[in-house]
Amino acid sequence: MDALVQKIISDSGDEFSKNIIVFQENYGNRTVFEELNNDQLREKLWETLFHCLSDNSQSSLHYNCLSTLRILSRDKTKLNELITDERLGIILNNAALRDININLRTYSNVNIEALKLLCNLIFNSIKVQELLPKTHCLPCLIDRIRKYNEKIPYEIMLFDTRIVFLITALNISTRQVVKTELNGDECFIKMLKNICIQCEQDKLYFIKEDNAILVCEILKALFNLYINSDNTTGEKSKNLVSILNKLLLFKSKKDNDLQSNIANLLTVMPYNCYSEIISPTKEKHKQVFQNMDMSAVFVLLKFLDRRLNCKDDLIGNLSPIVTAFIRMVKAERLIRKYTRLQILPPLKDVMHRPEEGTTLRAKLCKLLTSPLIELRDLVAEFLFILCKENVTRMVKYTGYGNAAGMFANKGLLGPNKKIQPAYSSESEDSETEEYLKHKEQINPVTGCFEHPKPNPLEGMSEEQKEYEALQLIGLVDKLTREGVVQPCRIGDDGKPKPIEHVLELQEELPKQQYNHRDSDSD
């Protein structure tokens, strides 16, 4: 590499052009260039390339200079030193993002290559992240997006959008500028709408792969713009959720990526917008519920089911979609009722524990005892809302053992601790014949049927029972003193409180009994 770089630095004209092409061919897949750390080769190479870019008489070489810089910009070494205001200005000029008054009618490969280079620089350089908002780049960018027409090259749209995503992700101060001052979110919503219209006009209801990639970039940019925004209510947000509804119903080779980004965006939508994810319908199909089309919710449930099968990064894979569902079922009664029927249908299988099997209910119940506290609490909250925050119903569907952690956190362990949530009074519970038949034999702790077990104290004298009780107290006391266990009683706030001596448990026993035969009515 050293010899080739030395030639690029010293040559000019045809030889220079040939050598930078050779560099691209040989090192186009590299991300680190440690060879350039010697003899200031890195600095000299960047200087040579920018010298060519600043010379309009060598415009025929500009594309390859930008391509070479794009490759070099993957290496973070001295990147902040290599980028100056002047050099950033040269890049923006080649990207047609330096002057808002310049409106190109046609875009060249030079423009596209400059945008790709700019993406790398934003991603890898803190200096560029700080410098870019001080230029005219963002106003030029949003103005260009606003004026998109059918003649705009796909790659211009893709990298314009990616630049907005990257700068708003890495420099939080730009989010308010893009959204509030420049109304950039409106431009992106319009782009999504146009893609939907195109798919509907084609009558294929299929998003082509290129468009699916572009949609994902738009959704990521919108997520950044809405994540901490206080000004997200109104028709604009409702319109966006309505578009997300349509996007969920289109097919694509990028289904998983699309649905993932839609789920992320749904986590930051205002509560009063979620009703737009469903729509009235007179059609009759499987996903109609109370004259509302639940197809988009069904797609999200299928996506949740796939994510529940993930083995790696459970928090990253599951938190967004579970959070999105929590918000939707809190906000919209019909979404909650439909979702509950899909996840917690009337209970028929009482012979297996709630966490056993491959149903959505089973997969979610398994996570109620997950060591990943954040995920465990999210799933518990989701199921609790589906149960209308009714403790008895939650125990029925998940088992007291699985839900005890959540009950403790919420202060719901006491027998008289009840939440008075704002849910409709109509019952959604139709106890099945299977459940009613075995109800008395269902263990509320495990949540499933158990055959009657012989009484271990049967046949013992009172003296023997007292002896066994004292032995048990002694063992618990020993474990407590050694720090192996920490016995608790239930405090007045419904949360577990550590005890000082095991005999306190005996005093608390009468009021700690959990009566699993309490009414399950609403």
Confidence of residue 518 (pLDDT cuts 50, 70, 90): very low
Domain boundaries, the chain: 201-343, 354-413+437-449, 462-512
More confident residue, 434 or 133: 133
Distance (Å, whole) CA 220 – CA 164: 9
**For residue 138, is pLDDT > 90?**
yes
Lowest mean pLDDT among 167-171, 180-184, 459-463: 459-463
pTM here is 0.86
| pLDDT for position 490 | 72
| pLDDT for position 480 | 80
**Average pLDDT, stretch 217-232?**
87
| Cα dihedral 503, 505, 511, 514 in deg (nearest 10) | -150
- Please give, one letter per residue, the 3-state secondary structure of 28-64: CCCCCCHHHHCCCHHHHHHHHHHHHHCCHHHHHHHHH
**For residue 194, is pLDDT > 80?**
yes
Distance (Å, whole) CA 10 – CA 16: 8
Closest by CA to 240, choosing from 253, 254, 226, 224, is 226
Contact assessment for residue 186 and residue 164, using Cβ atoms and an 8 Å cutoff: no
Consecutive H or E run containing 466: helix 462-481
**For residue 27, is pLDDT > 90?**
yes
**Average pLDDT, stretch 145-165?**
95
**For residue 256, is pLDDT > 70?**
yes
Tokens standing for residue 115: 């945008």
Q: At what angle do helices 109-124 and 154-170 cross, to 10 degrees?
A: 20
Output the average pLDDT for the chain.
88
Q: Where are the alpha helices (DSSP H) in 344-388?
A: 360-366, 373-386
Confidence of residue 511 (pLDDT cuts 50, 70, 90): low
More confident residue, 263 or 286: 263
The angle subtended at Cα 392 by Cα 387 and Cα 394, nearest 5°, is: 40
**For residue 128, is pLDDT > 50?**
yes
Query: pLDDT by residue (tens digit) across 404-434?
Result: 777 777 777 765 555 555 666 555 555 676 6
| pLDDT for position 522 | 38
Closest by CA to 373, choosing from 315, 311, 307, 313, is 315
Confidence of residue 515 (pLDDT cuts 50, 70, 90): very low
- Please give, one letter per residue, the 3-state secondary structure of 74-140: CCCCCHHHHCCHHHHHHHHHHCCCCCCCCCCCCCCHHHHHHHHHHHHHHHHCHHHHHHHHHCCHHHH
**Average pLDDT, stretch 226-250?**
87
